[in-house]
Amino acid sequence: MLLPLSAQFTALLKRIEHNDRFHFSYKDTAFSCEPAAVISLTRLYNNKSIDKVCKRHIDDFVKEHPFVPYQAKLLMHEEQKYLIRPLKERCFIMLNAGTSLSEYLIEEGFALLPKKPEPDFIGTPLYDQLVLAQKRAKYHKRGIWQKPGLLNCFAYE
Cβ atoms < 10 Å from Cβ of 124: 17
Distance CA 109, CA 126 (A): 18
pLDDT digits (tens, 9 = 90+) for 55-110: 999 999 999 999 988 888 999 999 999 999 988 888 999 998 779 999 999 999 99
Lowest mean per-residue pLDDT among 2-6, 39-43, 62-66, 117-121: 2-6
The pLDDT score that the predictor gives to residue 49 is: 86
Within the chain, where are the H helices? 41-45, 52-64, 71-75, 101-107, 125-139, 148-153
For residue 157, name the pLDDT band (cuts at 50, 70, 90): low
* Better pLDDT: 108 or 6: 108
CB 30 within 8 A of CB 24: yes
CATH architecture of the domain with residue range 9-156:
Beta Barrel (2.40)
Name the pairing type of β-strands 29-33 and 39-40.
unpaired
Distance CA 124, CA 111 (A): 19
What is the rounded average pLDDT for all residues in the chain?
89
The residues spanned by each domain of the chain are 9-156
The pLDDT score that the predictor gives to residue 88 is: 81
CB 25 within 8 A of CB 76: no
